[in-house]
Amino acid sequence: MTARLPRLLDQSFGEVTRLRPTAASATISLREPPTAQITLADETVQMRSWVELYAGEDSLGLFRVTNIDRAPRRETTLTLRHCIDTLADDIWAAETEFDGTVAQFLGALLAYQSTARWQLGVCECAGNYKKTISYTLLSENLWAMADEYQDYYFEYDLTTTPWTLNFRALPTECTAEFRLSRNVESAQIRRDDEAMFTRLIVQVQDGPNPGLRTYDAAAAQALYGIITKTASVKVADVPDPDTWAQALLAKRCSPTVQVTVDGYELSRLTGETFDHMSVGKSCRMAVPLIAEYLQENIVSVTYPDLLGEPERVTVELSNHLQKFSESIVSLKKAAGGSGGGGSALGGGGMSTLEEVTYWGQVVTKTGVRDIYETGLWIDAETGATIYSLQEGVRANRGEITVNSQNISLVVTNGSINAASIVAAVNDAGSSVTISADKIVLNGETLTNQLGATNARITNLTSGTTQAESLKAGILTAVSAFQAYGTVAVWVDKAVMGSDGNPVTIHYLGHL
């Protein structure tokens, strides 16, 4: 089969020359940007140059040089990534909580391109999407969203200007086939039961009919037995729990399957579309020894030798599923929810079908200068802790811990508003102990009783004061002075002195 040579392009995508590699390979993937590698003998290519690659006569798309491995008097190896990777050049320049449809999310994401290379085309996903965004790469946001919608994939149309990005539903109709006697050199089939279950028990938490519901996959139970999982949902988030649960069970009632086929793409010779392998297609493989047909979507196509045997391919077929906890969120969205109410039983503070001894949740946000983190941890034995911290230009932390013995409050590099803390102590023997080098009481202080071993009060104003012993440098009675229950008055008395002269004596006495 004739193999077209790669085209080296300028920044306006005009052809500069044809490269003559000694080796070339490419991998087209469903869940990440396609990649390629070419080896050059004596040609020079600059970093971030554009190259168009071919499998036979068919273009694999535009790729950009992202790595150059060169040594003196040796061949040069180039690593290239598909042009969808241009979204790694820009960030979503905002701190925001996105909440909208998938189409709105993709439109908003592409609007942040510094150079508008991509435009949004068809979006067949009608689901909703929530995302906390804080100056993150557009490419990271793109693939994170796609990972939550496993039944959809990106399709690239490079015939338009700008290029068009479509988000299409994975086809279910079989449009490709491998047969051992036709186009298969070798095949490996791997099955895994880690993510499967044949019975789902759901706790519906609100709505007109709350309570436990059980769903069974009878055919799968007859083949594999009963494998039980539990989940919990709110009708406010999942309007139809029955549809949601049945869809989840249908996806999980059989083992995950991964098939690797080393074979040939014969469509260029036969003209048959069933002989053409491309990512996303639903492909069937006949396994005659066990009289079985496997039909799964193509998740990657690798061309190990684009120059010598461009028809040779290694194809991965898979029904790989997300983790159980992640799939609950994704399927709930597909059922019409907004992304916040479904969870595996035992999380999210919900009632559970089995005893839960601990639970925790931490949320983070990364800004330009600071990192924020807030967490809640609950343990049946040790209690609960709520904390919040900020690290960066400033470092602040606050924490409240509650257990059966006490409540503790810690604030670092912040301040506590004392008026917001009230300690109520009853008269049943409770006490409050304050230990500090200095205690300052501002405002009016009222007490029924005050006891102190050694207290110094600079100024004391009191209505009635009673003491066993009172010592003062100056004792002043403004209006009256009593001694032994009798009012004492100031008395002046004239007497004759020893020298015969009169003397006036002043003393406290009573009349």
Q: Which of 256, 235, 238, 258 shows the shortest CA–CA distance to 247?
A: 238
Q: Which of 53, 55, 49 shows the shortest CA–CA distance to 16?
A: 49
131 neighbors 105 (Cβ within 8 angstroms): yes
Q: Residue 420 CB: number of other CB atoms within 10 A?
A: 6
SS (H, E, C) 268-300: HHHCCHHHCCCCCCEEEEEEHHHCEEEEEEEEE
Residues 6 or more apart in contact with residue 352 via CB below 8 angstroms: 203, 232, 345, 346
User: Phi and psi dihedrals of 244, rounded to 5?
Assistant: -60, -50
DSSP string, 76-88: EEEEEEEGGGGGG
User: Phi and psi dihedrals of 451, rounded to 5?
Assistant: -125, 135
82 neighbors 35 (Cβ within 8 angstroms): yes
Q: Is the pTM of this model over 0.75?
A: no
Q: CA-CA distance, 493 to 508, in Å (whole number)?
A: 11
Largest CA distance in the chain: 155
Q: Which amino acid is at 232?
A: S
Classify residue 233 as left (phi > 0), alpha (psi -120 to 50) or beta: beta
Per-residue pLDDT of the chain (511 residues; tens, 9 = 90+): 578 999 999 999 999 999 999 999 999 999 899 999 999 998 889 999 999 999 988 899 999 999 999 877 788 999 999 999 999 999 999 999 999 999 999 999 999 999 999 999 999 999 899 999 999 999 999 999 998 888 899 999 999 999 999 999 998 888 777 766 667 777 777 878 877 899 998 888 877 788 888 999 998 898 889 999 888 877 777 778 888 888 888 888 888 777 787 877 655 555 566 667 788 888 877 665 555 567 788 889 999 999 998 888 888 887 655 555 444 455 444 444 433 344 444 333 333 333 445 566 767 776 656 777 787 868 777 788 887 877 765 667 777 888 777 777 767 666 654 544 544 445 445 566 676 667 777 667 777 666 666 677 777 777 777 777 777 778 777 777 777 778 877 778 888 877 878 888 877 777 6
Q: CA-CA distance, 3 to 174, in Å (whole number)?
A: 28
C-alpha dist (Å) from residue 385 to 377, 380, 398, 412: 5, 12, 11, 16
